[in-house]
Amino acid sequence: MYAGKTFSDPLELMNFAARHVPGALKLSQEMAWPYRREDWEFAAMVGQGLVLERAGEVIGTAMWWNYGEAYASAGMIIVTASAQGGGYGSRLFDGLLEATGGRSVLLNSTDEGLTLYKRRGFTTWGTVHQRQGLLTVVVTPNARDGIRPATVSDLAAIQVFDGRATGMPRPSMVAALADVGDVVVIDKEGRIAGYAIARRFGRGYVVGPVAAENAEEARLLVLAQLATLHGQFVRIDVDAEHGLSDWLDSLGLERVSHATAMVKGQRPVSDRAARMFALANQSFG
């Protein structure tokens, strides 16, 4: 990571710290991204990142999250509009790639970011659909589907299942998400076969991660979470290829945007019997 590097304009590239949160929040508001201060604080707590600062003002951010020795995810990459076109995004992103220490890096790109990432060796492998809206449909889950609230003793099994579904070791991230969210699991005679987390985020709540052994069980997990969120604004970021996106239309969660899933290096491989259907958010992967 960077202890501080001064450019001739003059800019400083430095590690993201707690004092940068207000400036980072201002940047995301400029982009009309729905992050709250709490969302920035959580992202910084579970990850790390870089800031471009000019005379004490945050003009750019780039965050990343460490998933073991082989993988990382990147996101929350923003440069203020008045500084765009000056190579600042490249400086930030090159610094981020250096900080990740040769790990394979995953990210979800807007259309505007594709050129930068492709120039840095990223390749595309999928699409993420952002679904959201005010939940007005009354959801009544089936009480006999094996889904129950998670307990503290389930955490280790949830972390193992997440690793199988993502192909990456993410125990710290899963523990942090579980600590701030409500967790439900699929319990098959004492075996955890899926989980879903709902937590405060952005304009309301986000449902994700959602990991399961098949799409039907992923839908049951989503319904179990939505049953507690009637009347709330809900967001779900789903993998386009797994079939949940169109189904969410029936619940009034409209597709509002998409992101291109990209990787630099080797894409992690999930266990065939466990898959990730919805993301915690597009930055965490």
Contacts of 50 by beta carbon, 8 Å cutoff, 6+ apart = 1, 2, 13, 14, 15, 16, 61, 62, 92, 95, 96, 99
Q: What is the pLDDT of residue 9?
A: 59
The two structure tokens encoding residue 85:
């076109």
**114-138: pLDDT as tens digits:** 999 999 999 999 999 999 999 999 9
> For the whole model, what pTM was predicted?
0.93
pLDDT for 24 beyond 60: yes
**31-69: pLDDT as tens digits:** 999 999 999 999 999 999 999 999 899 999 999 999 999
**57-105: pLDDT as tens digits:** 999 999 999 999 999 999 999 999 887 777 888 899 999 999 999 999 9
DSSP labels, 145-156: SSEEE--GGGHH
Contacts of 157 by beta carbon, 8 Å cutoff, 6+ apart = 185, 191, 192
Q: What is the pLDDT of residue 242?
A: 85
Segment 262-277 shows an average pLDDT of 94
**Residue 6 banded pLDDT, cuts 50, 70, 90:** very low
Q: What is the pLDDT of residue 4?
A: 45
Q: What is the pLDDT of residue 7?
A: 42
Segment 7-33 shows an average pLDDT of 89
**Residue 147 banded pLDDT, cuts 50, 70, 90:** very high
Segment 20-25 shows an average pLDDT of 97
**194-247: pLDDT as tens digits:** 999 999 999 999 999 999 999 999 999 999 999 999 999 999 999 998 889 999
